[in-house]
Amino acid sequence: MTSASPAQFAVVPLRMGYGRPAPSTAPAPVMTGMWSSEAFKVVDSGHATSASTVMEADTKFETRLEDVPQAALEPGTSTDQETSKPPERVLRRLAQNREAARKSRLRKKAYIQQLETSRVKLAQLELELQRARQQGAYANGNMGDSALGYTGSIDPGVTAFEIEYSHWVDEQKRHTAELMSALQGQKTSELELRLLVETGLSNYEHLFRIKAMAANADVFHVMSGMWKTPAERFFLWIGGFRPSEVLKILSPQLEPLTEQQRMLVGGLQHTSTQAEDALSQGMEKLQQNLAETLTAEAVPFGPPDAYMLQMATAVDRLKELVGFVIQADHLRLTTLQQMHKILTTRQAARGLLALGDYFQRLRTLSSLWAARPREAAIS
């Protein structure tokens, strides 16, 4: 038996301090277990842990984390979402705004398509008019004088006015339908009717404004009423309807009227008639002055300078026609506004409905007249 050396049984001194041995920088010894050949590690704490045991524990912990629902790991998310949900009234308002925006886009698209169609139709009409002028010129044997009594191309301002007027007619049809629906409805409020009445008056104000621009471009086109249907032209007075006649037509539709309302409507009709007479007399005076200007010192073989001076004076007098158109439209608008002040909101709505329906009937009459069967010409 071999005796042990004294060095093997030397006592290792301990450092006094915190009650534990000083950390060693040497690698931890590897020990072999009694029942397994797997290596054990001695950690700083002094406990031996199997590597496979640590990996198995980590795997089980991760598996358990995966089994836990995600909602359980985030307890505050659902509560925050429920709290941040907008109320039902806001959602309904947002849905209404989206629907209104969709309808606005559809109306804009339809309006653009209508403008394009009107532009094509106007281009075709202008081409046909130019061809008719050329044919008339060839028939007369003189290219300088047209058989239609008019030379030159259509003014761009007139073309723009006719496009705007076509759109205005469609808008008036839609507004008339809205008035009819509102008056027939039982739940229409006073505020809704007032807004419809104000919209109708604004539409007529817009019509008179674009007419003024068209009159400055070509007053004869506005005065002739070529932008209206034949039945409307039959009742034309200085480029539009006669206010006193419209009051006569609308008065039965406004009943029942109070005694005071009846007196005010009668006074408005009398005032409108007087203003119409004054404008008509002014037109007659202008015609007389124009005829005198054209015939004053008319010498068939006179000097050309005198002739050109005479024509320049006549052109200046014709510019007064623009003022008559604007004054007549101002009288029309003023009459409608005064009627609005006299009547109640519901009566004013009925009056605008009757006026829009009257103009629509005139347009329908023109269409029926154009589509009537023609009798065969007598040979």
Q: What percent of the chain has pLDDT over 90?
A: 40
- In angstroms, the CA 240 to CA 331 distance is 11
Residue 78 lies in a domain: no
Residue 378 lies in a domain: no
Q: Which helix (H) or strand (E) holds 183?
A: helix 156-184
Q: Based on the domain organization, do 253 and 302 belong to the same domain?
A: yes
Residue 276 lies in a domain: yes
Total domains present in the chain:
2
- In angstroms, the CA 117 to CA 129 distance is 18
Q: Based on the domain organization, do 128 and 245 belong to the same domain?
A: no
Of residues 22 and 300, which shows the higher confidence score? 300
Q: Based on the domain organization, do 122 and 191 belong to the same domain?
A: no
Q: Based on the domain organization, do 114 and 218 belong to the same domain?
A: no
Boundary (domain end) residue, out of 124, 153, 182: 153
pLDDT at 35: 44
Give whichever of 33-37, 112-116, 123-127, 145-149 has the largest mean pLDDT. Answer: 112-116
Q: Are 165 and 207 in contact (CB under 8 A)?
A: yes
Beta-sheet strand order (sheet of 48-50): 30-32, 39-42, 48-50
- CA 262 vs. chain centroid, Å, equals 39
- In angstroms, the CA 119 to CA 127 distance is 12
7-11, 324-328, 353-357, range with the lowest pLDDT? 7-11
pLDDT at residue 335 greater than cutoff 80: yes
Q: What percent of the chain has pLDDT over 70?
A: 66
Measured CA angle at 142 (ends 138, 146), to 5 deg:
75
**Which range marks the domain in which residue 112 is found?**
89-153
Q: Based on the domain organization, do 147 and 181 belong to the same domain?
A: no
Q: Based on the domain organization, do 127 and 195 belong to the same domain?
A: no
pLDDT at 187: 83
pLDDT at 46: 45
Residue 52 lies in a domain: no
132-146, 147-161, 293-307, range with the lowest pLDDT? 132-146
pLDDT at 92: 85
Q: Letter for the amino acid at 66?
A: E
Query: How many Cβ atoms are within 10 Å of 222's Cβ, its own excluded?
Result: 25
Q: Based on the domain organization, do 252 and 306 belong to the same domain?
A: yes
Q: Based on the domain organization, do 126 and 216 belong to the same domain?
A: no
By CB atoms closer than 10 A (0-12, 13-18, 19+), residue 355 is buried
Under the banding of pLDDT at 50, 70 and 90, the label for residue 295 is: confident
pLDDT tens, position by position, 194-244? 999 999 999 999 999 999 999 999 999 999 988 899 999 999 999 999 999
Under the banding of pLDDT at 50, 70 and 90, the label for residue 86 is: low
Q: Based on the domain organization, do 181 and 288 belong to the same domain?
A: yes
Q: Which whole number is the average pLDDT over 42-62?
A: 48
String of b and e for 224-243 (b: at least 16 CB within 10 Å)?
Answer: ebebbbebbeebebbbbbbb
Residue 369 lies in a domain: no
Boundary (domain end) residue, out of 153, 177, 208: 153
Q: Based on the domain organization, do 234 and 110 belong to the same domain?
A: no
Q: Based on the domain organization, do 352 and 309 belong to the same domain?
A: yes
Of residues 278 and 33, which shows the higher confidence score? 278
By CB atoms closer than 10 A (0-12, 13-18, 19+), residue 40 is middle
Residue 160 lies in a domain: no
Residue 175 lies in a domain: yes
